[in-house]
Every structure is written in C-alpha cells, then in structure tokens.
A and B are shown apart, each in its own frame.
Chain A
Amino acid sequence: MKILVPVKRVLDYNVKARVKADGSGIDLANVKMSMNPFDEIALEEAIRIKEKGNAEEIIAVSIGVQQNQETLRTALAMGADRAILVVATDDVHNDIEPLTVANILAAIALKEGPSLILCGKQAIDNDFNATAQMLSAKLKWSQATFASEIDVKEDNVRVTREVDGGLQTIDAKIPAVVSVDLRLNEPRYASLPNIMKAKRKPLEEINPADLGVEVTQRLKVIKTKEPDSREAGLILENIDQLVEKIQENVGG
C-alpha cells in the first residue's frame, strides 16, 4: 500500500515568532524554517510502517511556496520515496488555509490512491488542528485524530487516540486519514548518505490549478498583535513567604 504524508514548512519551533510592526502578521523574512514537528512524526511513522513491510511507497506532499522543496528534500532524506510540491503562492507570508490544503490533498489522494494519509495533528504556526479532519470529510474516509499508537491491519488501522480524559482506541477502516500526536514516536535524523541520495529522488512540481483546485481564503486576517505580556514578579526569599502567597491566592 501507499502512504501519503503532507509536510508543512513552518517557522522553526525554536525561533520566537515576532509580530511585524505594522500588525500584518508574523515576520518570516530571513528566519529559520523547518518541517512542522507533527509532520515529522507522521513521516517517521510512515517510514516505520514501510520498514515493517506494511507499505511499499511513501509520498511526501508540501503545499506553499517554491522553497517548500527544501522541506520535501528533508522528507526524502528521512525516507520518503518521492515528493510532490504544490506551489500555491509566491509569498511565504500567505498561509494556505487548511480547507484549501484539504482540497488539494483530496485531489492528490484521488490520483495516487493511498491507503493511508498520515498528517500532523496541527501546524505549529496557525495552530488550526483541522487539515486531517477536513481531508477525511472531503474523501469520505475514516478519521482517527491525535494518534499515540498506530497498528496497521489488513482492512483497518487500529489507532489509540490521546483525548482529554485519557486514551481511546478505535479501528478505522482503510483507506483512512490519521492525524498524529507528539508521543507516537521520535523522528529520526537524516544521515548524510541519505541526504545525498535524496537529491536524486523524484520531486514533482505542480500547481493547484493542475488539480482543478482553487486557492481560497475564507478567513481574512485583519490584525496580528502581541499578546498581553505578563510582568516578571517577585523572587521570594524563603519558603514561608511562598506559603503565605499560596494561602492568599487559594480560593481567592
């Protein structure tokens, strides 16, 4: 079977997001960009499924600007077999909404026929947590979100989900869309020989129009501002002072 893994290029998780002075968004010029950490986990899982002999091919897809091909090269170096770059904008500040991403991925899925689509549960930039669910709805496939364990069987995939109260296990019929959570695995680093090999792996470049998908923006960003900041408070000298402060604020 084939596994499709969408990977997003986002501001590196170690870099602090800076709001642009004119309030138009986050400054993404000349900052370190990386693969969305949740997508790395999804890709790692796909590679492990393949290594166990339960999949033949892994296709990585990235949607955004031309530079997303760097993210796809990383995916290929980690172990994806081929990559599809969908150039949907020429401005890195133009975030493609999950609904459009889902439409593009649905069109690719219909063409490629994967049995499983593994997505990160959310992108750490827009924090929407929506693409996998929307994609699953578009395809009318089964949906399993926030996976912390994935077991691929013949007709279904058994997924343990991290939910608010604990863990829930469901069987999702194949083909399925699964979104992955933090504790599913620890992604590998690409080795140097694999980085070299990745340069020769196929990377196809297309446009949303090639798939018959229109890029829309349903949410107009009117303003981006800094959150209210908290002032650093007092460093207390001893435990008794702290006990006093706790008592003042319990049930207050």
Chain B
Amino acid sequence: MKILVLAEINNGELAEDQTSKTVSAASTLGKVDVLCASNQCSDASTNIAKMENVENVLVLEDVLFAESLAESYSETLMDTINSYSHIFAPSSSFGKNVLPRIGGMLDVMVISDVSKVISEDTFERPVYAGNAIQTVQSIDKVKLISVRTSNYSAVPSTGSADIKKIDCKGNNPLTTFIENKMQTSDRPELTSAKVVVSGGRGVGSKENFEIIEGLADKLGAAVGASRAAVDSGFAPNDWQVGQTGKVVAPDLYVAVGISGAIQHLAGMKDSKVIVAINKDEEAPIFQVADFGLVDDLFKAVPEIEKKV
C-alpha cells in the first residue's frame, strides 16, 4: 500500500486546513506522500513538510498548475500515479473537479465525500443528502478517495518530511483560464471556522444580511447562508452551506431565519452545538438545534450582537 495525498493549492497558496485534514484521513492507513503542484511551491511545500505522518512532499512547480485546471493536473499526474495504491484529495471544488477525471483516465471509480476510512478498501460516505450513510468496499486496484474534511481534525505540525522535486511535462490545449472573481474577507474560512453564523430566506435581502455579518464579526465567526438565501441573491455562492454547497462542523453554528430543509441540514448537522433563531416555531431547524429561540430575527439578532 502506498498513499498519495493531493494538496489543494490555489495560486501558490496552500489550503492548509483542507490539506491537513485530508492527510489526517489518509493517515488512518499509514504514512503518506503529498503532491504539491502549483505555480509557486516553496511556502506550500514547507508547510506540508511539517504535517505529521507525511513522508515525502513531491514538488511539481509549473505555471501550468496555477489554477489546478483538471486536464493538465490529471494528465501530468499519470506519470506519478502508477506507484500509488491510494490517492486522497479533499472533497472541495478542487478535489471534486480533479479526482473523478483521474478516475475516468484510470478506469477506476471514485469514492466521493468519504466521512470515515474504515480499512484500505472500505469506506463510509453519506448519500441522499446525508439521510443515509453507506459503507462501500472497493474492488478497484487503485482507490481514489475524496475526503469530507469536516469529519477529520487537522494533523499536528510536528513532522519533518523530505521535499523532492519531480519533473513535469504537460500542457493543456483544452481549457484556458480567463479570470477569477474570488471573495476576499478578513473573516475565518467557512469550512474551518470554530463559529459560523448563517442566514436564510428569512433575512429577506442583501442589505439585511449585514445583520448576520454584524453578529458574525462580533463572534469572530465565518458567515454562511442557505441555498434559498444564495439563490435569492442575498449572499454570494461561496457562502452556501448544504448538500451541494459546503459542509461545515464548527463548535457553534448559529442558524438565523433558516427553516432547515434536509439539503441544508446535510451541510451543518455535524456541528457541535446548533443554535437556531426563527419566528416560525414549527421550522424543522428546531428539531436539530440544541438551543432555539422563537423570535423575530430583526429584533433578536441586533440585540444579541450588543449583548455577547
């Protein structure tokens, strides 16, 4: 068994939380190598080398990998991949984009969104928006696993892996990067934040979402949103929590004006403590919340912000 983890690096910047938690999941099976492919690798590879359980950091530095476009990334990986039996990636938009393409190239099924590594061929994963958990056993020679990182803790930074440069040959005649419109924020990252404050349809407008943001900032929290809020244009897409958005499991999740559709619960019900504020006492969110307040959010949230 030889294990490779694909580090998520965006334009030279390591997604440390996602990568470390993926290393953590992969470590269930043993020591791992980590592939560090980007346009700038020096900072990222130094950080990866410190992750516990990492043996080798394979550095593939080329401008081709700046945006991790699926074609060039998977094509190039084919050379490296042959000696590995397990390939792990975070179940982020990076991992979900790249890993199944590698599966198609190798004629191997991908095991998406793994919540628990049970053994070298057996894994647990949620299906039906988390309404069921399936245990699956893979008969493929190579296991391709994307990790639901919210189920794992980051590994300690006490390691000292070797950093090895590997050769890159590859090009990408198929897709061309045009531009990124990334949200920049001083708030903690949604998927790794200790506290998340989320707003739903009940918030009513983009302007009103400032109430949610105000409370989040007071608590040092990340801001989330339900699909309904994102669809209505109250919040940007990268805030969406749920089956098709991000999966979060913070210490505290505050759901404001969110009814609690199963698709939303799929993305947050592993939070340690859930607090819900909704004026409708019948809202399904109260069935999963540890603490609920039936109240008008426009009155309650500003007052909470003042008092916490």
> Which residues of A line the B interface, CB within 8 A?
11, 13, 16-17, 19, 26, 97-99, 102, 121-122, 124-138, 141-146, 148, 156, 158, 161-173, 181-183, 218-227, 230, 232-236, 238-243, 245-247, 249-252
**10 A-B pairs with least C-beta separation:** A137-B104, A134-B104, A133-B100, A130-B100, A233-B290, A142-B174, A17-B128, A218-B109, A166-B182, A163-B93
A250 to chain B, nearest CB (A): 6
Closest to A140 in B: B174
CA distance A218 to B122 in the complex (A): 12
Q: Select the residue from B128, B181, B273, B290 with max chain A CB neighbours within 10 A.
A: B128
The residues in B between 246 and 304 inclusive whose CB is less than 8 angstroms from any CB of A are 246, 251-252, 254, 262-263, 269, 272-275, 277, 281, 286-295, 300, 303-304
Is B108 in contact with A218, judged by CB distance below 8 angstroms? yes
B206 to chain A, nearest CB (A): 15
Residues in B whose Cβ lies below 8 Å from that of A144? 175
Is A124 in contact with B243, judged by CB distance below 8 angstroms? yes
A195 to chain B, nearest CB (A): 27
Given A183-B231, A222-B136, A224-B133, A127 contacting B182 (CB threshold 8 A): no
The residues in B between 106 and 129 inclusive whose CB is less than 8 angstroms from any CB of A are 107-113, 122, 125-129
> Which residues of B line the A interface, CB within 8 A?
10, 67, 69-71, 74, 92-94, 96-105, 107-113, 122, 125-140, 173-183, 191, 194-195, 219-220, 227, 230-231, 236-238, 243-244, 246, 251-252, 254, 262-263, 269, 272-275, 277, 281, 286-295, 300, 303-304, 307-308
Is A129 in contact with B100, judged by CB distance below 8 angstroms? yes
Residues in B whose Cβ lies below 8 Å from that of A227? 126, 130-133, 269
Is B281 in contact with A26, judged by CB distance below 8 angstroms? no
Closest to B128 in A: A17
Residues in B whose Cβ lies below 8 Å from that of A241? 293
Given A127-B127, A163-B93, A250-B195, A183 contacting B177 (CB threshold 8 A): no
Is A16 in contact with B131, judged by CB distance below 8 angstroms? yes
Q: Select the residue from B127, B130, B220 with max chain A CB neighbours within 10 A.
A: B127
Closest to B11 in A: A165
Is A125 in contact with B128, judged by CB distance below 8 angstroms? yes
Is B290 in contact with A183, judged by CB distance below 8 angstroms? no
Is B252 in contact with A128, judged by CB distance below 8 angstroms? no
Residues in A whose Cβ lies below 8 Å from that of B195? 250-251
Is B113 in contact with A127, judged by CB distance below 8 angstroms? yes
A119 to chain B, nearest CB (A): 11
Closest to A222 in B: B135
Q: Is the interface of A mostly helix, strand, loop or mixed?
A: mixed
Is A221 in contact with B136, judged by CB distance below 8 angstroms? yes
CA distance A124 to B132 in the complex (A): 12
Known: A170-B175, A243-B308. 8 other contacts (CB 8 A): A17-B131, A125-B128, A127-B243, A182-B227, A227-B126, A233-B292, A238-B293, A247-B308
Closest to A157 in B: B175
Is A143 in contact with B132, judged by CB distance below 8 angstroms? no
Q: Select which of B96, B133, B303 is within 8 A of A129 by beta carbon.
A: B96
CA distance A221 to B268 in the complex (A): 25
Given A163-B93, A219-B109, A124 contacting B129 (CB threshold 8 A): yes
Q: Select the residue from B98, B175, B308 with max chain A CB neighbours within 10 A.
A: B175
Closest to A243 in B: B307
19 pairs from A and B in contact (CB 8 Å cutoff): A16-B262, A130-B112, A135-B104, A145-B96, A162-B93, A162-B238, A169-B177, A170-B176, A170-B178, A218-B109, A227-B269, A230-B274, A234-B292, A242-B275, A246-B252, A246-B308, A249-B251, A249-B273, A250-B195
Given A166-B182, A230-B274, A219 contacting B111 (CB threshold 8 A): yes
Given A19-B132, A234-B291, A243-B307, A98 contacting B100 (CB threshold 8 A): yes
Is A125 in contact with B130, judged by CB distance below 8 angstroms? no
Q: Select the residue from B92, B101, B308 with max chain A CB neighbours within 10 A.
A: B101
CA distance A250 to B304 in the complex (A): 13
Is B178 in contact with A99, judged by CB distance below 8 angstroms? no
Residues in A whose Cβ lies below 8 Å from that of B178? 158, 169-171
Residues in B whose Cβ lies below 8 Å from that of A132? 100
Closest to B111 in A: A219
CA distance A124 to B242 in the complex (A): 12
Is A168 in contact with B269, judged by CB distance below 8 angstroms? no
CA distance A252 to B96 in the complex (A): 32
A68 to chain B, nearest CB (A): 19
Closest to A226 in B: B132
